[in-house]
A and B are shown apart, each in its own frame.
Chain A
Amino acid sequence: VEAAAKVLHLSRKMPAARRRQVAPNGVLGMLIFVIAETMFFGGLISAHAIVKAGALRGWPPPGQPRLPVEETLVNTAALLASGVLLYVAQRVFAKSPSRARLPMLLSMLLGAAFVVLQGVEWVAMLRQGLTMTSSAHGAFFYLLIGTHGLHVLGGLAVLIWAYARLLRGLLVGTQLAAVQILWYFVVGLWPILYWRVYL
């Protein structure tokens, strides 16, 4: 107890410059999470690239349905617009938090639209015979795109949480920053996946 009291006393004496917090905990935690997720997707994308390059009969394999490249462009545009709107929401939030409601709501709706449109696309692909077991092409499609879809759902859940706090006037800038990091990761990853998997 005496030692603890001594440490407490020393920490009080320590200059503020030495004890300062250079980054909010939420932001730093989210950055570490995003770094781990980036490595996870980096591994999946690398595996896909190697299997695709080693496919002797071409890619996609013969007899497998082609992916809806044009339709998915609409989804891509929706997700990118969602990211832009969250950026707008953050800019507005810094000046007047209540005015950030609309861009944040629109951002969430566009994110939800992306998930719904992807779901419609998946149903069509399953009806055409593309499944996890139909080929390596199908397995990678559902693994890569499905994992990203799960991340979008997670990002949407966090966005809804932040929006609820915004409505109650409880949202603070550092919380919004942590949410933004996750959502920008999800949005920024998608064009890479689209390029690697669809094109």
Chain B
Amino acid sequence: VSGLRGQLVTAAGLVLASPTLALACPVCFNAKDDAARVAFLATTVFLTALPLLMIGGVVMWLTRRAAAADQAYVEPSPELEPAAGTDPAPDVTGARPIPTRG
């Protein structure tokens, strides 16, 4: 069949001629009784909630730690600020200074 229209007609014909149901869940046909259906439902809820809870927990923990660090932070006094035109902070990394052009 050539052309888009022909392909669409063929696809529609195949779908209409198909006698079986299209299941949203590819493995739920296995749920033969109540116990299996409950297992499918429970594990779906479990696997959906698990990453949300864990990632949410870590984010909440980090947020609290950041808030605590904000509260504990003390603004440095102006006397300790470097004078204008001088290096603002000593380089404690031991890295060589990056040369600038000009």
Contacts and interface: CB of A to CB of B under 8 A. Distances in A.
Interface of A: 1-2, 4-5, 8-9, 12-13, 16-17, 20, 22-23, 31-32, 35, 38-39, 42-43, 46, 49-50, 52-54, 56
19 contacts: A1-B99, A1-B101, A5-B100, A12-B88, A16-B73, A17-B73, A20-B69, A22-B65, A22-B66, A35-B54, A39-B47, A42-B46, A43-B47, A46-B43, A49-B39, A49-B42, A49-B43, A53-B38, A53-B39
Interface of B: 27, 30-33, 35-36, 38-40, 42-43, 46-47, 50-51, 54-55, 58, 61-62, 65-66, 69-70, 73, 76, 88-89, 98-102
Given A22-B69, A35-B55, A2 B101 contact: yes
Contacts of A22: 62, 65-66, 69
A35 B51 contact: yes
B53 to A, nearest CB: 10
A112 B82 CA distance: 56
A38 B57 CA distance: 14
From A1, A5, A49, A50, residue with most partner B Cβ within 10 Å: A50
Contact of B89 (A12, A31, A43): A12
Contacts of B36: 50, 53-54
Main secondary structure on chain B at its contact with chain A? helix
A53 B44 CA distance: 14
B54 A38 contact: yes
